Structures are given as C-alpha cells and as structure tokens.
Amino acid sequence: MAMGTPSYSNLRLLTDFLYLISGVTCAYFEYCYRFFVKPQMKTLSQEIILVTGAGTGLGKAMCVYLAQSSPKATLVCWDINGPENEVTVKTLHCMGVQAFGYEIDICEPAAVVKCADQVKKDVGDVTVIINNAGFLHRTEPFLNLSPVEIEKSINVNFTSQCWILRQFLPQMVAKNSGHVVTINSCQGKTGCNNFSLFSASNSAVNGLIHSLKSEMRRESANNINFTTVFAGFLNTNMVSNKNICFRYPSFQPRILEPDEAAMEIVDAFRRNEEYVFVPKRTSECLSLLSHLLPPKAKAVINDIFGVQSVNIS
C-alpha cells in the first residue's frame, strides 16, 4: 500500500469518529435549544393511561390533573387499597372522565397478568403507563432493617415495575407507539443515610429504564417515549411537613404538595421530556453539578441537603 493512503480500518475509524462527534454535537444543540423553547404538549385524548398507586398522594393528584387537562383520556387506576382507589375513580367520574378501578397487589406477578388481561378486555390496550406505586421502609440504618422489609422495598419499587412492563410493553412495541413514565426520586441518583433500599430500588429502576431505551432504539421501536421523574420530598402519607426534619434547616428544599408535583410531571411527559426534576431547576442543577465534583465535595453536599429524621408511624 502506498504511503499516506489511509487503510480501510483508518477510514472506518474516521467515519465512526465523525458519526460520534456529530451525534453528540446535535444532542448538545438540541438540549440548549430545548432549555429555552419547550415543545408543544401532546394531546392525550385517544390514550388509555394506567396509573399505579392511584388511591392516594401523587398517584391520585396525577389522575385528577390528567382528568382536568385531558378530559377525553381514559384512566385505568390501580391500587392495593380498593376503597381508596374507588374514591379516586368516583372523583374522576364526577369530573366526567372515563375511569376504571382495579384493586391489585402489583408485587404478585400472577395478579398483574390477570389484571392486565382484564384491563385489555374492559378498556383496551394501555398506551401510557405511569409507574408510581411506592412503599417507603422505616427510615433506619440498613443494618436495622429486617429481611422482610428489605424484600418488600425491592418488590414494591423495582420488581413490580418489571411485572407491569412485561404485560404492557409488547403491545406498545407492536404498534411502535406508547409512553412509559417512571416516578423515581432524587435518592435514585445518589444515596442517603437511612434511605438505603429506597436508593437501591430507585437506582435499579434507573438501570432498567436506561437498558430498555437502548433496546427500543435497536428494535426500531423508537416512537416509545420514556420519562423518568426525579422527585424530591412531597407532602404525602409517606413523608410530610410534620414528620420530616432536615439536618441544616437553612438548606431545606421546598416540600411540594402532590398536586403541584402532578402538574409539573404531567405537563413534562406531554412534552415528551426524558427527565423531569421536581421541584424543577434546583435539583437538576445539583444533579448536573454532582457529576463534576470530587467525591468528598459530593459527600458534603449530600449531608448538607440530607434529612435528619423522618418519623413514619
């Protein structure tokens, strides 16, 4: 081969490298543009939206806001607590919205299969999943948690999401259309004393969703959108203004009401945003910043913004 003629593999390296650079550059430009110019919200009129944990707190607030903002959508409400779920469904009916309630323990794979089949018969194919149901273990150091509490945390917050996705994702892939919204928490990005399994299960969900997105891109099911919500503390049954106490009160984040959070979440997924931080910018900045800081600085920030105690009765 003559001197100076690039060999096939060098050419390949060059084209691959250009592909990488152009992809990353485009993504940066889009990110900056989208920071200022938000896309239009999509309409949810034709959608069948499944909300887990619809009986109380954030789940209920999201159902109500969905009903207000998209009265033609159909809502499917799942909760382990039948009576509370019925109250949500009745509220939605009073607002003139089509809603169906199912009492279900999402930790039981067989129950999820059965309930999903029932939903398909009663309502049709679910096109939007909002994985919201959660359970907070006692906020205690890891070594104080019992095996039952450990298993329950992982089952409610991680494994249950696998059962649900297994039931509803195949129809979305077949149609190459759908949306999966995951309610995660800021703890899923780091970790915090007394929240060990909470962080662990949230990180597990994160890994699952990242992998799913990558699989969907490969299957050319690229019209299935994913939104992950990193929520801070909300004033709900699990945690509230009354039982939470911060180590450095001057850095205490604002504790949002569930209906404020619900508005931010629903509006963001209607704009097909991939990541949503609630409350908005502060936690997003902290999270971006934390990737740039040395580990000890991260620990300082983690402690300063950390919780002193939560009393869950």
Ligand X SMILES: *[C@@H]1O[C@H](CO)[C@@H](O)[C@H](O)[C@H]1NC(C)=O
Interaction mask 35-74, ligand X, x per CB under 6 A = -------x--------------------------------
Binding residue for ligand X, selected from 272, 287, 290, 302, defined by CB under 6 A: 272
Give yes or no for residue 203 binding ligand X (CB under 6 A).
no
Q: Which of 69, 91, 98, 193 binds ligand X (CB under 6 A)?
A: 193
- Residue 244 pairs in a beta bridge with 310
Residue number, 90 or 210, with CB nearest to ligand X? 210
**Site size for ligand X (CB under 6 A):** 30
Cα pseudo-dihedral 242, 182, 230, 193, rounded to 10: 60
Q: Which residue is nearest to ligand X (CB)?
A: 134
Which tokens belong to 124?
């049709």
- Check residue 118 for interaction with ligand X (CB under 6 A): no
Shortest Cβ 183–ligand X spacing (Å)? 5
**Nearest C-alpha neighbor of 132 from the set 28, 236, 29:** 236
Q: Between 51 and 183, name the residue whose CB sits nearer to ligand X.
A: 183
Residue 310 makes contact with ligand X by CB under 6 A: yes
Q: Which residues pair with 99 in a beta bridge?
A: 75
Asked if residue 191 lies in contact with residue 199, where contact means CB atoms within 8 angstroms, the answer is yes
* DSSP letter assigned to residue 29: H
Which one among 52, 56, 88, 139 touches ligand X, defined by CB under 6 A?
A: 139
Does 284 contact ligand X by CB under 6 A?
A: no
**In the window 119-138, what residues touch ligand X (CB under 6 A)?**
134-137
For residues 42 and 270, is the Cβ–Cβ distance under 8 A? yes
Task: Answer yes or no whether residue 91 interacts with ligand X by CB under 6 A.
Answer: no
Cα–Cα distance list, 95 to 66, 70, 129, 293 (Å): 11, 11, 21, 48
Binds ligand X (CB under 6 A): choice among 102, 163, 198, 305: 198
Q: Rounded to the nearest whole angstrom, what is the least distance from the CB of residue 148 to ligand X in the complex?
A: 12
CB of 42 to ligand X, least distance (A): 6
**Residue 275: which of 227, 212, 235, 234 has the closest Cα?**
227
Q: How far apart are CA 12 and CA 56, in angstroms?
A: 56
Q: Which of 46, 118, 223, 237 binds ligand X (CB under 6 A)?
A: 223
Q: By CB under 6 A, what part of segment 171-190 binds ligand X? A: 177-179, 183-185
Beta bridge partners, 102, equal 78
- Closest contact distance (angstroms) between CB of 1 and ligand X is 45
Torsion of CA 183, 271, 92, 55, to 10 degrees: 0
Looking up tokens 């994160």 gives 206
Q: What is the distance between the alpha carbons of residues 296 and 282, in angstroms, rounded to a whole number?
A: 21
For the bound state, the minimum distance from the C-beta of residue 24 to ligand X, rounded and expressed in Å, comes to 18
Under the binding rule (CB under 6 A), the answer on residue 235 touching ligand X is no
Closest CA to 185 of 173, 174, 176, 197: 197
Cα angle value 191/192/193 (rounded, 5°): 140
Could you say whether residue 230 binds ligand X (CB under 6 A)? no
Find the binder of ligand X among 115, 129, 238, 278 (CB under 6 A). Answer: 238
Q: What is the dihedral of CA 80, 239, 60, 37, to 10 degrees?
A: -130
- Kindly list the residues in this chain that would bind ligand X in the complex (CB under 6 A): 42, 134-137, 139-141, 153, 157, 177-179, 183-185, 193-194, 197-198, 201-202, 223, 225, 238, 272, 307-310
